[in-house]
Structures are given as structure tokens and as C-alpha cells.
Amino acid sequence: MDAFAHILPREFAKDLMDVWPSPELAAVARLDYFWDIERRLTVLNELGIDVQVVTLARPDIWLRCPPKLAKEYASKANDAIANLVSRSDGRLVGVGTIPVMYEGAVDEVKRCVEDLGLRGVQIYTHSNGMPIDSPSYVEIFGYANSKGIPIWLHPQTWPHHAWSNQYALDRVFGWLFETTLAMCRLVFSGIMDRFPNLKIITHHLGAMIPIADVRLEGFYNTMTMYPYAEFNPLSDKPSRILRRFYADTVVLSSSVHAFLCGLEFFGADHVLFATDYPFGPEEGTWWARHVITTIKNAPIDDQTRVKIFGKNAIDLLRLNY
């Protein structure tokens, strides 16, 4: 089961292009494999993937989007995804998206889950520069915590420097930084302590967390040396709280050592197979094939492999397979 892939409904993309055009949207809206269900199912058959979770592509199309406009068009996107999923003969599992925070956003999350039958919601690592632990997010976290539904956390681009997007480094490394920052803010702000049943699926194998946990712990344990950091006491070690997150196998697992590093940190029950389809070379199939091969050839036991390839996601999404 592919736990984190993307889709861009064609009519939604056309409508958004009319009111909020961007090069990011134009670049993918013309590619039929972002919205063609029959073609997607053919690819899934070729890859040997039974079920795929689809989230809205792509975060950059919402940068600086006014909340009122984002509210209207995110709702249209969620409706369109629910429609596409209904035509997939059970092969696709849909997730809603809240791309920009606005007052009452939790009502759209409830609609996605309770009315549209979507399995959770995707949010981004920031909302037009507003950090993920801001008050605007709290109602969504509270609802997800009470209902036990997962949240898919996707990095959002932000121009930290005018030159940061040159050579696509804002995606290659900037997105990893964004995810790492968001995860840590959720821990150090106390959000994860406040909502102990919160289940968050992170892209790119938890980004920098598996290789920086000791460094992070060191700063936390010497918090008096960094008074500007405003560290607050936590219920447990930061690394233990970070292990509550789920991590997918997108991109970073294209090398065995990176995959094993993430697996060692998060544990066999918290790693989910995912492809990021249809992004990447060869119309989105290259990363998928590489990830599948990496997991099949990794020095892990069959029980762990079964968990990663499907059982963990099925349990997390409470699916009846």
C-alpha cells in the first residue's frame, strides 16, 4: 500500500489557473498522469501496488494565496479528489487538504472525513509563513486527536533567501529542513504532549530527524545556555516524542543506508511504504521502483517488510483489507 502519493484533478487545476495562476500549477496541470485514473491504475498494476493514498499536489500553488480564496478552492479540490476516488474501484484512498489556514478550517476537515469519506487531511509545514504550532492549527489537531484520524504533513516551500530555489535546492534540501522544523515545533511547543493520540505522517522518512536526534537532545539538555530558544519542559525526551511520528519511504529510502537509518529511529511499526507518485523521473515511476527494490533488498526480516509495505498503513487508516 502506497501511503503518500499525489493527484491533481484536471477540472480543479483549470479552475484554479483562472483565479490563481502560477508556473508551479502550469507545470503539472498539463501532465495527464497527474489526473488520469485509468492510466494511474495501470501504473499501479505494473508496480505491484494494490492501493494508493492520494493527496493533493502541489503545495507551491498556494504560496501567498489569500485565505478566502484558499478556502473556496481547497473545498473544490477535496470534492474532486473524493469523486476520483469513487471511480477507482477501491484502489485509491483519498485525503483532504487544508493548504492555507483560515478561521473555521476544522469544519472543512470534518466535512472531508464525515461527509466525503476521506481518510484524513494533509496540511503543510507552514501557512504563508505562519508556523505549524500557531493557534490556527490547534482545532485541527484537536479534532484529529479525538477521532484518531491521521494528518499527512507535507513540506511547503518558503523563500528563505532570494537564491534558495536555484538548482531546485529549495526542494532537494529546503523541504527536508521545513519538515524537520515543523516536527520539532510540534514537539517543543507542547502540541504533541497536549494531543497524545495525534498521528502525523511525515514525508521523506522524517527528513533530518533520524540523523540529528542526538544533537537535538543535546541542545534541549543544555537549555539554560540558550535562553533565547524558550525551551519548555516536556513530558519525555524529545527523541522519544519524535518517535511518535510516522515516516514514509519517499526519496530518502532510495539508498539502503538512509532507509535503515530512518527505520532504526522510528521503528518497524512507524515506517510506511510510499512513492511520491507521480513526481520524479520517468513520469513518476523511477522513484517508486527504486523504493520497492530498496525495501525488498534491505537486510530486514519478512515481518518488518510486511509492516512497511502495507500493514502499518492499513492499521493507521483503519482500513478493512
With contact defined as beta carbons under 8 Å apart, do 268 and 253 qualify?
no
Global pTM?
0.95
Among the ranges given (23-32, 160-169, 172-181), the one the predictor scored with the smallest mean pLDDT: 160-169
pLDDT in the model for residue 160 = 67
User: Which residue has better confidence, 60 or 165?
Assistant: 60
More confident: 52 or 222: 52
Structural domains present in the chain: 2-317 (3.20.20.140)
Contact 49, 87 (CB under 8 A): no
**Using CA of residue 149, residue 105, residue 158, residue 217, what is the dihedral sign?**
negative
For cell 469513487, what's the residue? 86
The CA-atom distances, in angstroms, between 160 and each of 169, 207, 238, 304 are: 11, 18, 26, 39
User: What pLDDT, on the 0 to 100 scale, is given for residue 288?
Assistant: 93
Average pLDDT score over the chain? 94
The residues that bridge with 240 in the sheet, in sequence order, are none
Q: Predicted confidence band at 161 (pLDDT cuts at 50, 70, 90)?
A: low
**159: confidence class by pLDDT, cuts 50, 70, 90:** low
Instruction: Report, in angstroms and rounded to the nearest whole number, the Rg of the chain calculated over CA atoms.
Output: 19
Which amino acid is located at 146 in the chain? S
Q: What is the dihedral of CA 138, 58, 7, 304, to 10 degrees?
A: -70
Under a CB-based contact definition with an 8 Å cutoff, are residues 101 and 130 in contact?
yes
User: Can you tell me the mean pLDDT for 97-106?
Assistant: 97
Q: Which residue has the higher pLDDT, 126 or 228?
A: 126
Q: Cell match 513526481: residue? A: 279
Task: For residue 293, give the C-alpha cell.
Answer: 527494490
SS3 per-residue string spanning the chain: CEEEEEECCHHHHHHHHHHCCCHHHHHHHCCHHHCCHHHHHHHHHHHCCCCEEEEECCHHHHCCCCHHHHHHHHHHHHHHHHHHHHCCCCCEEECEEECCCCCCHHHHHHHHHHHCCCCCEEEECEECCEECCCHHHHHHHHHHHHHCCEEEEECCCCCCCCCCCHHHHHHHHHHHHHHHHHHHHHHHCCHHHHCCCCEEEECHHHCCHHHHHHHHHHHHHCHHHCHHHCCCCCCCCHHHHHCCCEEECCCHHHCHHHHHHHHHHHCHHHEECCCCCCCCCHHHHHHHHHHHHHHHHCCCCHHHHHHHHHHHHHHHHCCCC
User: What's the CA gap between 162 and 174, in Å, rounded?
Assistant: 13
pLDDT 10s digits, 171-223: 778 789 999 999 999 999 999 999 999 999 999 999 999 999 899 888 888 87
pLDDT of residue 295: 94
In angstroms, the CA 34 to CA 53 distance is: 14
Cα 83 to the center of its chain, rounded Å: 21
